[in-house]
């Protein structure tokens, strides 16, 4: 790890320090299109150190989702219901966090390695039905698209709340 690969953003809670290390990127809940939810989606967690004013720091991991429609034409960022990287921040901090994702995270070696490992796992899956084959192939294409995603795609993406979050 190179310290120059770190990213720091200032929030009302303190300085959030992000490192380009594989163990700091966590992927959960890979979703492929269904009749009721016609999109691809991945939940990404990022571990960071929160440095507070009295030199106190702790490690935290917060999440967000990257969603693409089934033809990969649009990107949306989605706040998670709990442990959200985006939701608890004010408007300026939300924009800065969006920049963190678009200008830093998607370009890190850690993110790329985690996505490449997921692609390999999907390629090794034992699928039995044509439906399963199509789901796996579509998911692999989605993961490959994540590796090609551009800063502009993230910066211009809408940010939505998790549907379960809004009641």
Model pTM score: 0.90
> What is the Cα–Cα distance from 141 to 125, expressed in whole angstroms?
15
User: Residue 14: what are its φ and ψ, rounded to 5°?
Assistant: 140, -165
Q: Report pLDDT for 54.
A: 75
Residue 126 exposed, middle or buried by CB count within 10 Å (0-12, 13-18, 19+): exposed
Q: Taking 60 as the threshold, does the pLDDT of residue 167 lie above it? A: no
Of residues 28 and 142, more confidence is placed in 142
* 140 band by pLDDT with thresholds 50, 70 and 90: very high
Please write the tens of the pLDDT for every residue from 8-23. 999 988 999 999 999 9
> What is the Cα–Cα distance from 159 to 91, expressed in whole angstroms?
11
> What is the Cα–Cα distance from 27 to 17, expressed in whole angstroms?
19
Q: How far is CA 153 from CA 36, 72, 83, in A?
A: 25, 11, 24
Q: Report pLDDT for 52.
A: 87
Query: Mapping DSSP to helix (H, G, I), strand (E, B) and coil, where does residue 56 land?
Result: coil
Q: Which residue has the tokens 């789901």?
A: 135
Q: Taking 80 as the threshold, does the pLDDT of residue 1 lie above it? A: no
Which of 126, 115, 6, 105 is closest to 63 using CA atoms?
Answer: 105
Which of 66, 67, 47 is closest to 6 using CA atoms?
Answer: 47
Please write the tens of the pLDDT for every residue from 33-70. 988 999 999 999 999 999 987 777 889 999 999 999 99
| Helices and strands: H and E segment counts in the chain | 4, 7
Please write the tens of the pLDDT for every residue from 73-131. 999 999 998 899 998 888 899 999 999 999 999 999 999 999 999 999 999 998 889 98
């Amino acid at each position: 790890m190179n310290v120059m690969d770190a990213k720091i953003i200032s929030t009302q809670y303190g300085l959030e320090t992000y490192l380009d290390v594989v163990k700091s990127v966590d992927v959960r809940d890979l979703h492929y299109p269904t009749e009721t939810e016609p999109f691809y989606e991945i939940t990404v967690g990022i571990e960071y150190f929160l440095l507070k004013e009295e030199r106190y720091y702790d490690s935290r991991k917060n999440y967000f989702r990257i969603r693409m429609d089934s033809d990969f034409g649009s990107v949306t960022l989605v706040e998670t219901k709990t442990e959200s990287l985006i939701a608890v921040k004010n408007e300026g901090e939300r924009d800065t966090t969006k920049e963190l994702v678009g200008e830093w995270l998607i370009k890190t070696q850690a993110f790329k390695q985690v996505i490449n490992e997921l692609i390999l796992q999907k390629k090794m899956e034992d699928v039995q039905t044509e439906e399963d084959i199509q789901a796996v192939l579509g998911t692999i294409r989605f993961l490959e698209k994540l590796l090609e995603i551009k800063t502009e795609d993230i910066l211009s993406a809408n940010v939505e709340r998790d549907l379960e979050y809004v009641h």
